[in-house]
Structure 1
Amino acid sequence: MCHPAWGRALTEAHRLKDLARLRRVRDRIDREYAQPLDVEALARGVHMSAGHLSRQFRAAYGESPYSYLMTRRIERAMALLRRGDLSVTEVCFAVGCSSLGTFSTRFTELVGVPPSVYRREAARATVGMPPCVAKQVTRPVRNREAQVKEPQLA
């Protein structure tokens, strides 16, 4: 019979291995956000089932892999829309979305305004602002995936 500490050590080693895989998935999403990615393909890339990847990713990062991917795409779309030289449709396809309707809906959920309104207003709001500051100031707030908790006052 095995010593109980061995079981805990194996569990910890498995958890660390899963965390390393999750980092690889997150890094791949960050790099390849404009490519056609789905949870099944991401899971295959790290030898996990899609369900296990989704559960572990949500536990580690507070949102699903799909939600994380869409947030990356929307962040990049915001930067392209601020430039003002591409249409909303061109931006949609440039960031890897295949449906203008899904893109617009998700953009509105995360940013609070439709992409066309954002494009019009953001160009004026960030005039003269360095791009690195504009990116930080205009970063989307997740309205649905990760609610911000109010601080508890003692």
Structure 2
Amino acid sequence: MPARQDREARPLAPSSHPAGDDILQDPALLRRLLRAKDRMDAASHEAWPVSRLADVSRISEAHFARSFKRAFGVPPHRYLLTRRIEQAITLLRDTELSITDIAFATGWESLGTFGRIFRDITGRSPGAMRIDVRSDTRQLDRVPACVLKAAQRPDLTIAVLEKRRRVAKAKLQPSTEEVS
């Protein structure tokens, strides 16, 4: 019980999101979240529903989902999508595997889903990405791989469906009819 009292007695740093600060002040919870994140990194090709991640972390599903987003800035599913797309880009650049083989190797169950989400996240099809990354490799040979991965990491701060809605909204032409 004394450990719990010590944790509760600690003052929170002033912030607009005190709940987010709780996570940073609870090293045990952060270790549990990192354990789940490491498992996703090691096996991003596997299915990682929140229930499985919560089991790895040994906390409830709802608590895991909220805590993961507060700690890492994105929900667990988006984090997993980012890792899968990063791995797919690497395979497109460094191997001669077909796009279908890359889709299944990185954990996608359908080539269509892989292609659609890949395009939504990167803005290019897997085939176009393969051409682009291969043409850039000669210039990037001297850059460390960790720096390249960080620079090429897909931006998933908003949901893929939200990106689609924004693109569709931008393509719609305004109506020329008068509304009264």
Shorter chain as normaliser: what TM range? 0.7 to 0.9
Map of 1:113 onto structure 2: 124
Higher relative contact order (CA 8 A, sep 6+): 1
- CA separation of 1:106/1:140 partners in 2, compared to 1, >3 Å: closer, same or farther? farther
Which of 50, 53, 56 lines up with 1:39 in the alignment?
50
Map of 2:152 onto structure 1: 139
User: Deviation of residue 21 (structure 1)?
Assistant: 0.6
**Structure 1 residues 93-108: aligned runs within 5 Å:** 93-108=104-119
Map of 1:20 onto structure 2: 31
Q: Among the aligned pairs, what percent are the same residue?
A: 32
User: Deviation of residue 143 (structure 1)?
Assistant: 4.9
* 1:89 and 2:97 correspond: no
Larger mean Cα displacement after TM superposition, 83-92 or 120-129: 120-129
- In structure 2, stretches of 5+ residues that fail to align are 12-21, 160-180
* 1:8 and 2:8 correspond: yes
Larger mean Cα displacement after TM superposition, 131-140 or 39-48: 131-140
- In structure 1, stretches of 5+ residues that fail to align are 147-154
- Asked whether the 8 Å contact 2:35–2:56 carries over to 1, the reply is no
Residue 125 of structure 1: SS of its match in structure 2? Answer: helix
Runs of 4+ with deviation above 6 angstroms? 10-14
User: Deviation of residue 9 (structure 1)?
Assistant: 4.2
Alignment length (residue pairs) = 143
User: Which whole-Å CA distance do the structure 2 matches of 1:52 and 1:99 have between them?
Assistant: 31
User: Deviation of residue 30 (structure 1)?
Assistant: 0.9
- CA separation of 1:60/1:85 partners in 2, compared to 1, >3 Å: closer, same or farther? same
Pick the structure with greater CA Rg.
2
- With normalisation by structure 2, the TM-score equals 0.67
Amino acid corresponding to residue 53 of structure 1 in structure 2: F
Give the root-mean-square deviation of aligned CA atoms: 3.0
